[in-house]
């Protein structure tokens, strides 16, 4: 059923009301716009590494065991549905790869052995392509210090114009303990000094399992402090945790005395989550927030059966990270700053058939779930709206407690096209996240979940663009490349109905627009000085209808715009009318009116989005 929300009756109010009866603001089946999520990034995996490149893309990898696999995503929460590439490394025990960008080339550092753990060593791959998903990965061989001892979990620190390699290794040739070592590098694949031990397990929380472990070193620099956050205790236990050693950027990092270890863990089991560890650090899409990505056990005493989570962190006054505690599984947190909103469809709000039905859920987001999808004929179906035909990420909060502990699938059908929707097994009501990159048509779409292999339930699913055109909440100016002039509020007015025009690009607030992705392929543009939205006057649909600013109604039909690649820039199309943001007559003169007009992909409808 349709949810109709009357936002205003003003100029052309009756026409707008009629349009809202046929063009959705919220989609069918009681959808809502959300800026929060449950923080499982991947329902299965360990040893996550993520790097946000200067192109704004996230490059991710984790332990897969038999190769190195890298993922690419425009959002942190969409990594699991990102594009991926498998890089064959040969043989065995491929652990904890990391991808780095150093001196205009890509490098992957990973551990492998020949089938015998005692022979684990670190290796390097190089790719000089601008995009690591393309080009050739070249084996640069083993990276080692003169001792050539057992080594895993290598990472690179760059500080003071010098590169250092930091890793976890054995002191001798037997598995007694894992220490942390550092050495200097002459290039990204060569160590040029002896190793220095900078940490070994000494505290009770590090030595409570055998062998004793310090591993997974990760470095983050703030001010003049290097924080080396590492994993301690047995990775197969609930006691796995994160510890901290620090050094000053101006100290001799090859001198063990330059490093100081804290006597307590800084991140450990809490809030019903167990064994958090082997993390990496990154930032939100807009760079305003710091995030930690880490693995935890899927359930109490799950051992090496782990999932990957992420959460925001802050800083102590001494410039060391304040990681807090793992966020509780059943409490939502805000999405990373700059990420799209998402459109949420609660499981219980779908249309059920074949014996499936909505059931109560103590840990469900709305207290209910879509369950009992137990027979070949059972299903739950939703009607969803997309403002533009494009790829979207479908992220479902799912659970599987099938006897035997194996994975299950639901059969996901999008507009008649089916594919498996995988759900890990960690118990009923212990919700995880299943994701899929899907293609939606512009307008209404049908999404169905039906019986697959095993059994699974659905709390809800979210939709968001796979490739958002702008960072939500960021401020942009829109410049027409043909004229070099900007989208401008006439006279910098803040009044409802103030005209929008073309004007000399002068970087004033009259030319600043805060863009928000609504999750369904549409965006709002709000002028920063007035707080008012780019608006089609009266919700009109005719060629030549004026564009103005008006009170922000958070995505009413007159204020929704798709942002679609057009030549070297973008075109903005109002889904309500199907017409494009247009410079009247293609004029280049200051004061030329901006209107909507038939979408014809010409220069008068092309805009550059320049982030401020």
Backbone φ and ψ of 193, nearest 5°: -145, 170
pLDDT in tens, 505-540: 999 999 999 999 999 999 999 999 999 999 999 999
pLDDT of 10 > 70? The answer is: no
Residue 488 pLDDT exceeds 80:
yes
pLDDT tens digits along 205-227: 999 999 999 999 999 999 999 99
pLDDT surpassing 80 at residue 23: no
Q: Is 251 a residue whose pLDDT tops 80?
A: yes
Q: What is the number of other CB atoms lying within 10 angstroms of the CB of residue 30?
A: 17
The answer for residues whose C-beta is within 8 angstroms of residue 360's C-beta and 6 or more apart is 367, 368, 369
| 13 pLDDT above the threshold of 50 | no
DSSP 22: H
Query: Is 457 a known active-site residue?
Result: no
Q: What's the pLDDT tens digit per position in 433-476?
A: 999 999 999 999 999 999 999 999 999 999 999 999 999 999 99
CATH (residue range 470-611): 2.80.10.50
What digits encode the pLDDT tens for the residues 125-179? 999 999 999 999 999 999 999 999 999 999 999 999 999 999 999 999 999 999 9
What does the block give as tokens for 368? 């209910």
* CA separation for the pair 232, 213 (Å, rounded): 5
Taking residues 96-115, what's their average pLDDT?
Answer: 98
Q: What pLDDT score was predicted for residue 554?
A: 86
Question: Which of the residues 29, 44, 47, 459 is marked catalytic?
Answer: 47
Is 3 a residue whose pLDDT tops 70?
A: no
pLDDT at residue 29, rounded to an integer = 59
Chain centre distance of CA 311: 11
H helices within 315-460, ranges in order? none
Q: Residue ranges of the domains in the chain?
A: 42-329, 360-465, 470-611
pLDDT for 22 = 35
Which percentage of the chain shows pLDDT scores above 70?
95
Hey, what CATH topology would domain 360-465 get? Jelly Rolls (2.60.120)
pLDDT digits (tens, 9 = 90+) for 555-573: 999 999 999 998 889 999 9
C-alpha span between 356 and 594 (Å, rounded): 51
Average pLDDT, the chain: 95
Answer CATH for 42-329 from 3.40.640.10, 3.30.379.10, 2.115.10.20, 3.10.450.50: 2.115.10.20
C-alpha–C-alpha distance, residues 204 and 264, integer Å: 9
Residue 239 is a catalytic residue: no
**Per-residue confidence at 25, pLDDT binned at 50, 70, 90?**
very low
Catalytic member of 29, 44, 215, 520: 215
* pLDDT of 260 higher than 70: yes
**Residue 609 in this model has a pLDDT that exceeds 70:** yes
Farthest-apart Cα atoms in the chain, separation? 81
pLDDT(114) > 70: yes
Task: Tell me the CA end-to-end span of the chain in Å, nearest whole number.
Answer: 41
Model pTM score: 0.94
Q: Structure tokens of 93?
A: 């025990």
């Amino acid at each position: 059923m349709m949810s109709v929300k009357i936002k205003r009756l003003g100029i052309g109010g009756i026409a707008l009301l009629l349009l809202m009866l046929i063009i959705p603001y919220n989609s069918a089946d009681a959808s809502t716009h959300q800026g929060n999520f449950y923080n499982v990034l991947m329902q299965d995996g360990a040893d996550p590494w993520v790097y946000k490149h200067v192109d704004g893309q996230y490059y991710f990898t984790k332990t897969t065991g038999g190769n190195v696999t890298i993922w690419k995503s425009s959002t942190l929460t969409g990594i699991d549905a990102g594009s991926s590439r498998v890089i064959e490394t040969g043989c065995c025990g491929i652990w904890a790869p990391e991808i780095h960008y150093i001196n205009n080339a890509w490098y992957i550092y990973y551990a492998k052995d020949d089938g015998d753990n005692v022979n684990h060593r670190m290796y390097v791959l190089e790719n000089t392509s601008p995009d690591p998903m393309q080009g050739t990965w070249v084996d640069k061989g083993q990276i080692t210090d003169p001792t050539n001892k057992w080594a895993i979990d290598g990472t690179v620190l760059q500080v003071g114009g010098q590169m250092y390699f930091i890793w976890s290794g054995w002191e001798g040739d037997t598995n007694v303990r894992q220490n942390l070592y550092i050495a200097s590098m002459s290039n990204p694949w060569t160590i040029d000094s002896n190793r220095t031990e900078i940490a070994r397990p000494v505290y009770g929380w590090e030595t409570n399992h055998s062998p004793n472990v310090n591993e997974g070193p990760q470095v983050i620099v703030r001010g003049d402090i290097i924080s080396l956050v590492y994993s301690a205790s047995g990775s197969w236990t609930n006691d796995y945790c994160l510890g901290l050693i620090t050094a000053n950027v101006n100290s001799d990092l090859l001198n063990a005395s330059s490093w100081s270890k804290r006597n307590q863990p800084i991140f450990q089991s809490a809030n019903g989550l167990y064994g958090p560890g082997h993390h990496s650090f990154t930032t939100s899409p807009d760079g305003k927030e710091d995030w930690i990505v880490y693995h935890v056990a899927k359930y109490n005493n799950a051992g090496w059966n782990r999932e990957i989570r992420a959460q925001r962190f802050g800083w102590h006054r001494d410039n060391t990270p304040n990681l807090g505690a793992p966020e509780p599984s059943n409490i939502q947190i805000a999405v990373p700053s700059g990420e799209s909103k998402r459109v949420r469809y609660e499981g219980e709000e779908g249309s059920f058939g074949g014996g499936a039905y909505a059931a109560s859920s103590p840990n469900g987001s709305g207290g209910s779930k879509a369950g009992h999808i137990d027979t070949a004929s059972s299903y739950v179906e939703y009607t969803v709206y997309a403002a533009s035909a494009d790829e979207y990420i479908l992220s479902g909060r799912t659970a599987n407690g099938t006897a035997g502990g194996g994975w299950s699938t639901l059969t996901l059908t999008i507009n008649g096209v089916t594919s498996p929707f995988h759900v890990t097994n960690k118990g009923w009501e212990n919700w995880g996240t299943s994701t899929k990159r899907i293609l939606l048509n512009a307008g209404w779409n049908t999404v169905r979940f039906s019986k697959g292999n095993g059994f699974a339930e659905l709390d809800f699913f979210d939709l968001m663009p796979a490739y958002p055109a702008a960072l939500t909440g960021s401020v942009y100016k829109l410049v027409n490349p043909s004229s070099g002039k900007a989208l401008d509020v006439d006279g910098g007015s803040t009044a409802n109905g103030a005209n929008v025009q073309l004007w000399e690009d002068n970087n004033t607030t009259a030319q600043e627009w805060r863009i928000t992705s609504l999750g369904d392929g549409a965006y709002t543009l709000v002028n920063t000085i007035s707080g008012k939205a780019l608006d089609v006057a009266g919700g009109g649909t005719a060629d030549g209808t004026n564009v103005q600013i008006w009170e922000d109604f958070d995505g009413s039909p007159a204020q929704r715009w798709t942002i679609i690649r057009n030549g070297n820039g973008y075109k903005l199309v109002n889904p309500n009318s199907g017409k494009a943001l247009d410079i009247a007559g293609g004029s280049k003169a200051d004061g030329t009116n901006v209107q909507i007009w038939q979408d014809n992909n010409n220069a008068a409808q092309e805009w550059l989005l320049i982030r401020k």
